Amino acid sequence: MPFADVGRLAISGWNGIVVKSSNQIDKSLGGRLRDKRILTGWSQEQLAEKLQIDPKDINAYEKGVKRITADRLLRISKIFGVKPVYFFGFDDDDRPTSQEGVRLTLPDQGLRLHRAFIGVKNPALREAIVSLVIELARNDNLP
**Sorting pLDDT into bands at 50, 70 and 90, what band is 105?**
low
Mean of pLDDT values over 88-93: 59
Taking the whole predicted model, whether its pTM rises above 0.75 is answered as: no
The Cα–Cα gap between 63 and 79 comes to 20
Closest by CA to 63, choosing from 37, 83, 40, is 37
DSSP 86: G
How confident is residue 138, by pLDDT bands cut at 50, 70 and 90? confident
Specify the CATH architecture of the domain 23-139. Orthogonal Bundle (1.10)
Cα of first residue to Cα of last residue in the chain, in angstroms, is 64
Mean pLDDT of 14-42: 76
Compute the distance between CA of residue 124 and CA of residue 29 in angstroms, rounded to an integer.
36
Asked if pLDDT for residue 13 goes beyond 50, the answer is no
Average pLDDT, the chain: 76
**9: which strand partners?**
6, 20
pLDDT above 70 coverage of the chain, percent: 69
Write out the DSSP string of 81-143: TS-GGGGTT-S-TTS-B-TTS-B--HHHHHHHHHHHHHT---HHHHHHHHHHHHHHHHHTT--
Yes or no: say if 31 and 22 are a contact pair by the CB < 8 Å rule.
no
